[in-house]
Amino acid sequence: MINVAIDGPAGAGKSTISKGAAKELGFIYVDTGALYRTIALSAVRNGIIDDKDAVIKMLESIDVKLGFENGTQCVYLNGEEVSAYIRTPEISMGASKVSAIPKVREFLLDLQRDIAKNNNVIMDGRDIGTVVLPKAECKIFLTASAECRAQRRYKELIEKGENVKYEDVLSDVNERDYNDSHREIAPLKPSEESVIADTSELTLDESIALIVKIIKEHM
């Protein structure tokens, strides 16, 4: 099986680029952030998102599964397909909280590794090359400048009709980068073997072509 690990900061286009590359190569695309979001959804529904011990206790009684329908990933919480409920700002914030709990990361480890054992995958996250799939054939650290990621995010928000200032979006991006790369557990950083791919100056198609080329060089 070919395992490709794609890590990098929020807003670098990991999921869109990984999805495009997976389609071209016939690989399964695994979005691991969705798993942390599913745990967060369960914690929010139970009203315990800010109670670390209760979240850890909750892990004993929940069932999280990944499925694939027509190549699209779905996540299941206790058998319920919850993909439609995990993309809200509340759940993004919650996912960031639960992902800092070591027991939560441990809980999701086997699930991620099992998929990679049985399939050709492109798996995206923050610690895939460093922790989840340290033996991946190909490791890519996908990034773009903070200004560029902030600019993309700013454009998205303006298009949604939200009233935001570019400077505020940029300072959010910088703050999140700092938090992600300085947390104690599984901090965001390239592994030693990672190929660094900077998409600041690339279009989406160019970014996908670059990733596909890097993967083919490692197959």
What residues make contact with ligand DC under the rule CB under 6 A? 10, 32-33, 36-37, 95-96, 99, 125-127
The DSSP 8-state label assigned to residue 85 in this structure reads: G
Which tokens in the block code for residue 99?
């992902």
Cα separation, 114 vs 83, in Å, equals 20
Q: Name the residue nearer to ligand DC (CB basis): 125 or 163.
A: 125
Q: How far is the CB of 59 from ligand DC (least distance, A)?
A: 16
Q: Name the residue nearer to ligand DC (CB basis): 110 or 219.
A: 110
Q: How far is the CB of 51 from ligand DC (least distance, A)?
A: 18
Q: How far is the CB of 199 from ligand DC (least distance, A)?
A: 16
- Partners of residue 80 on adjacent β-strands: 77
Alpha carbon of 53 to those of 26, 58, 158, 177: distances in Å? Answer: 41, 9, 38, 26
Cα separation, 170 vs 188, in Å, equals 19
Q: How far is the CB of 175 from ligand DC (least distance, A)?
A: 12
Q: How many CB atoms lie within 10 A of CB 81?
A: 13
Residue nearest to ligand DC (CB): 33
Q: Name the residue nearer to ligand DC (CB basis): 127 or 207.
A: 127
